Amino acid sequence: MRIMGLDVGVKRIGIALSDPMEIVAGGHSVLERRALQQDLEHIGNICASYEVKMIVLGLPRNMDGSIGPKALEIKDFAARLEDFTGIKTTFWDERLSTVAAEKVLLEADVSRAKRKKVIDKLAAITILQNYLDGVKR
């Protein structure tokens, strides 16, 4: 059994998966968004292939901790995903996860074009790893 982490954006969804012992998050892929149904089917197929038991979605809170319009969209997406897959969803505060991912890629001297291709996956890894570490405490 594994846990999936998602960084849901307007154009792309970064996807990460835990190892079977739920200790380490690793990158899986980046889904270029299409129609909602297609996105749900794609994620559902990954969940079935990897025996995912829970999905953690990054929740983009405002810097003061409040919930804005984007967070409400993520909550709606999570509800639809849970209905479609039957897999429990939960949220993890994703404030600055993309910023942290960008910093790692900049320090690794990754070109702008390559950063664009992997930033969402790295953000999903960050969200999932933070969740896994937080649950252990």
Q: What is the Cα–Cα distance from 59 to 78, expressed in whole angstroms?
A: 10
The two tokens of residue 129 are 């790893």
Angle at 128 between CA 10 and CA 130, to 5 degrees: 120
Q: Quote the pTM value.
A: 0.87
Residue ranges of domains in the chain, CATH in brackets:
2-136 (3.30.420.140)
- Which strand (E) or helix (H) includes residue 118? helix 112-136
Q: Counting beta carbons within 10 angstroms of the beta carbon of residue 23, is it exposed (0 to 12), middle (13 to 18) or buried (19 or more)? A: exposed
- Which strand (E) or helix (H) includes residue 56? strand 52-59
pLDDT in tens, 27-63: 999 999 999 999 999 999 999 999 999 999 999 877 7
- Tell me which amino acid residue 131 is: Y
pLDDT in tens, 106-125: 666 666 666 566 778 888 99
Confidence bin at 95 (pLDDT 50/70/90): low
Kindly state the DSSP code that residue 61 receives in the 8-state scheme.
B
26 φ/ψ sector (left φ>0, alpha ψ -120 to 50, else beta) = beta
